[in-house]
Amino acid sequence: MGFKFVFLWTDLALWALIAAVSLYGWRVWRQPSLRATWRVALRDAATVGAGAVLLLFLCVTALDSVHFRRALPPAPGQAAGTTFYETRTESLLDLVLARPLAMRESSYSRPLATHGLLKQNLERNGQSVRETPRLQFGGAHLRDPEADWAGDIALRVAGGLAVAALVAALLSLVIARVAAAPGQPLAAAWQAVMRGRTAVPWRALWLTLSLTALLVGPVIALMGHYHVCGTDRTGNDVLVQALKSVRTAFVIGTLSTLATVPLALGLGVLAGFLKGWVDEAVQYVYTVITSVPNVLLIAACVLMLQVFIDTHGELFDTGLERADLKMFLLCIILGLTGWATLCRLVRAETLKLRELEFVQAAEAFGVSARRTMLRHIVPNVMHLVLITTVLNFSDLILYEAVLTYVGVGVDPNLSSFGGMINLSRNEMSLDPLVWWSFATAFGFMVTLVLAANLFADGVRDAFDPRARAFRPRRATTPAAG
């Protein structure tokens, strides 16, 4: 075999999470009550659009979560059946981005530039002149950059937009077919979709995917010949770094949340329902935790783990495995040190729910405390858990940026939005200004966090039993799907 798979800790955790979500989707499909609740959530246009954006980010994360190492060519005298592999670990996303990854320049360059940013001493006609050098890859196919650059950019953008328009047209046909009622013509179904007269907001989904295609199409057409978002100090493509940082953001956000929810939910419900010494003990623990500055507590834990990783280098075959374990442990630390706020909210909500009639009736009929908490308390606080944890997604990314700034965050071998912003801190003070690294990281991060927040709001509204009766409803035509 010309390669072997590399199973990183975060890869296993992410694919286990995807499998769990798939099983939950199967359960939703089998249970009419859950299916009806999710149908309510998917009737909101913002939720559907945000879900589509999150799904696109998740696809990028999935591609970057399948790692492998290539086999080295056999060396002279190598024993038969023995295979050695490269120390560099690649992913499926690296194969997709093989061309931009190979287009490494010497230093900074502006977006879509053909020359470097910083002037260098060059030889011209036997004389030393100081000017910006021609890039090795960006615009290298142009014979006369000054004359051909604008026309080449316009031609490639037009080609990308044409392909994107074709994709949008195909999407419209698919959506019209899915939304059409039995016996309804596609033209009538598409007209209902565009007028928003369908139960499912197909128009929002089509607009989101079409706008994404119109944005991605020109980028794909350009990125094989130009650096669309420029290059950084070492000449690496900034757009590639941003795409590689999506996985780090998903890992930090999802795995840290998974480590937070069980502890916060369990202790919060126990403290609010049982009261007494259990409530006092839980309050004492999270009061002590919140009294310590969170960043300092996380930094101390990470530094202790860093000592273990540095003194046991023989446990790792590659630098990526070492960096991945550090990020995995960072997620656990973020979860175990950040559960106090959610636990306090769950406890307060449980104290209110405990006094409601349906809980009192369950206790009067002799239902055990365990069954009451699982059947009556936990489902009624899950909307609070959901919206709180997803809204903390941006906080977790911020923690990663702060910890990277102080030197105890994600390993420099891994791309991350925090690392990009940290490096751009000094670049923003250069003359000329290097703004594209910060702008690219900020744009990707805001898009990801905003989509997660909008999706969480829609799901919260659907799963909140108290808000369901007050949710505004939009009239729809039952004929269209």
Which amino acid, residue 335?
A: G
What lies within 8 Å, CB to CB, of 112 at 6+ separation is 138, 139, 153, 222, 226, 227, 228
pTM for the whole thing?
A: 0.86
In which band, very low, low, confident or very high, does the pLDDT at 481 lie, cut at 50, 70 and 90?
A: very low
Q: Dihedrals φ, ψ of 6, to 5°?
A: -115, 120
In which band, very low, low, confident or very high, does the pLDDT at 254 lie, cut at 50, 70 and 90?
A: confident
Distance CA 74, CA 53 (A): 45
Most confident of 208-217, 267-276, 396-405: 208-217
Distance CA 412, CA 80 (A): 38
Q: Where are the alpha helices (DSSP H) in 338-377?
A: 340-354, 357-364, 369-372
In which band, very low, low, confident or very high, does the pLDDT at 471 lie, cut at 50, 70 and 90?
A: low
pLDDT (average), residues 185-194: 87
Distance CA 74, CA 89 (A): 19
Q: Could you say which DSSP state residue 155 is in?
A: H
The size of the chain, in residues, is: 481
In which band, very low, low, confident or very high, does the pLDDT at 273 lie, cut at 50, 70 and 90?
A: confident
Beta-bridged to residue 91, according to DSSP, are 67
Written as six digits, the tokens of 250 are: 């998903």
* Number of other residues whose CB lies within 10 A of the CB of residue 392: 21
Distance CA 113, CA 107 (A): 12
Taking 60 as the threshold, does the pLDDT of residue 478 lie above it? no
Nearest Cα to 394, choosing from 327, 448, 458?
448
Pairing type for strands 127-131 and 120-124 reads: antiparallel
DSSP per-residue codes, 294-316: HHHHHHHHHHHHHHHHHHTGGG-
Taking 50 as the threshold, does the pLDDT of residue 111 lie above it? yes
What is the pLDDT, as a whole number, of residue 465?
54
pLDDT (average), residues 292-312: 80
Distance CA 480, CA 468 (A): 24
* Number of other residues whose CB lies within 10 A of the CB of residue 117: 19
What is the pLDDT, as a whole number, of residue 27?
85
Written as six digits, the tokens of 217 are: 């199409």
Beta-bridged to residue 131, according to DSSP, are 120
Reported as a single tens digit per residue, the pLDDT across 350-370 is 988 888 888 888 888 888 888
Q: Can you tell me whether residue 128 is helix, strand or coil?
A: strand
What is the pLDDT, as a whole number, of residue 475?
47
What is the pLDDT, as a whole number, of residue 468?
52
Taking 80 as the threshold, does the pLDDT of residue 473 lie above it? no
Reported as a single tens digit per residue, the pLDDT across 371-425 is 888 888 888 887 788 777 777 777 777 777 777 767 777 888 888 888 888 888 7
Which carries the bigger pLDDT value, residue 152 or residue 31? 152
* Number of other residues whose CB lies within 10 A of the CB of residue 440: 24
Token pair 């296993």 in the structure block, residue: 12
Token pair 């560099």 in the structure block, residue: 88
Mean pLDDT of the chain: 85
Distance CA 385, CA 39 (A): 20
Q: Give the helix/strand (H/E) hosting 325.
A: helix 319-337
Return the minimum-mean-pLDDT range out of 80-84, 143-147, 251-255.
Answer: 80-84
Q: Give the helix/strand (H/E) hosting 4.
A: strand 3-6
What is the pLDDT, as a whole number, of residue 408?
75
Distance CA 451, CA 208 (A): 11
